[in-house]
Amino acid sequence: MSLPAEARYTIDLDALAANFSAVRREAEAAEVAPVVKADAYGLGLEPVVRRLWAEGARRFFTARLSEGVRLRGALGTSRPAAICVLDGCTDDAAPHLAAHDLTPVLNSLPQVREWTAYARTLGRTLSGVLHIDTGLNRLGLRPEEARALVQTSDGLHGVELELVMSHLACADPEVAPMDVAQAERFEAVTALFPQVRTSFGASAGLFLGERFRGQVVRPGIVLYGGGPFQTPDPRIRPVATLDAPILQVRSVAPGESVGYGAAYRAERALRVAVVGLGYADGVLRASERPRYGWFAGAKRAFLGRISMDLIALDVTGCEAWPGARVELFGPNVPVDEAAADAGTIAFELLSNVSSRVQRVYLGSDL
């Protein structure tokens, strides 16, 4: 016997496919290599990747080694995709990367040395991606380290580079001076590797124009329904919907408080719906701005503090009943807007939805 519906996370795989097509149009001649780290941004690695493969994706990026191993298993032997691991060849990772046919993104000279040494141990060539830090100051070789590597006769011996990549620091709709500076640094380094394809643009960069893309683009959030510049974009369809049922509707008199800490006190008579969703489900608790859910054709305000399992919603003036569902984000509340109200970005909102929320998939994962 199936359990009654609780909080629900609905993922529209047809919308995911539509966004992949939109990215391909924008990317023009560049290959589109989806970023599927963090369980495909919380939407579910296996169904997401199977659908993206069916739509033509042949290269994927994960963050962790464990994600790459899981992705290789999800694809199976019938789908021989290239899988690039952004963490790279960290301590003791080389045997596992090679065993699962994963391509490390080499982020430092020690990582390069470890991967080339393992290639020599195996007596065969291994693939790699060289990551150049052009100003973000996270992972990656500095440009001068890349030049030194090229000048060393055996610097990359045993490793066949599939890509030289970098990552933009800014995600603004207009080209920023920082973007131009990074592009200039990247172009200077990639000139040292004239036979190797380049990868520069992620979700924001690929929408800034050809100079900021490279020959392989790495979309993430735009595939999953967020805009490239952290605001809704008409080219991108909503993919994920988070909703939950009303558990109880109650009257609150003027002067009465709602929720922990009596943080909200009613100034007038209210009808309050108590919704079965809370921070244990991944709804962010803290925010300095008003928060809303969508119910009965309009945005309705949260009242008081979000608790572990419950949210109070103002449903004054509309019909509400136990079992009716309230949307936190989805087609009526764009995920970028919901994220801005919560003081964060769509990446966090999507990937934060917890495992106790039921996943429902629309469309085929083929």
CA distance 306 to 278: 6
Q: What is the pTM of this model?
A: 0.95
Question: Would you call 279 a catalytic residue per the annotation?
Answer: no
Q: Mean pLDDT throughout 266-271?
A: 97
Q: In DSSP terms, which residues pair with 128 in a beta bridge?
A: 161
CA distance 109 to 115: 10
CA distance 304 to 97: 48
Q: How does pLDDT run across 10-20, given as a tens digit for each residue?
A: 999 999 999 99
Q: How does pLDDT run across 174-185, given as a tens digit for each residue?
A: 899 999 999 999
Q: Which of 9, 224, 260, 279 is catalytic?
A: 260
CA distance 64 to 220: 15
Q: Which of 9, 37, 118, 279 is catalytic?
A: 37
In this model, does residue 155 exceed pLDDT 90?
no
The one-character DSSP state at 196 is: S
Tokens 């994600």 sit on residue: 67
Find the angle CA(230)-CA(205)-CA(329) to the nearest 5 degrees: 25
Phi and psi at residue 149, to the nearest 5°: -65, -45
Superfamily of domain 13-224, CATH level 4: Alanine racemase (3.20.20.10)
CA diameter of the chain: 79
Where along the chain do the CATH 2.40.37.10 domains lie? 240-362
The one-character DSSP state at 4 is: P
Phi and psi at residue 346, to the nearest 5°: -60, -35
Write down the pLDDT at residue 286: 84
Strands 325-329 and 240-252: antiparallel
Q: pLDDT: is 5 or 262 the higher one?
A: 262
Report in angstroms the alpha-carbon separations of 103 from 95, 109, 214, 366: 12, 16, 19, 26
Q: How does pLDDT run across 62-79, given as a tens digit for each residue?
A: 999 999 999 999 998 889
What is the pLDDT confidence band of residue 316, given thresholds at 50, 70 and 90? Answer: very high
- Chain centroid, CA 246 distance in Å: 29
Write down the pLDDT at residue 290: 92
Question: Would you call 299 a catalytic residue per the annotation?
Answer: no
Q: Mean pLDDT throughout 260-269?
A: 96
Spatial neighbors of 253 by CB under 8 A, at least 6 apart, are 266, 269
How many CA atoms lie less than 13 Å away from 134 in the CB half-sphere? 28
Joined together, the tokens standing for residue 293 give 């859910």
Secondary-structure class of domain 240-362 per CATH: mainly beta
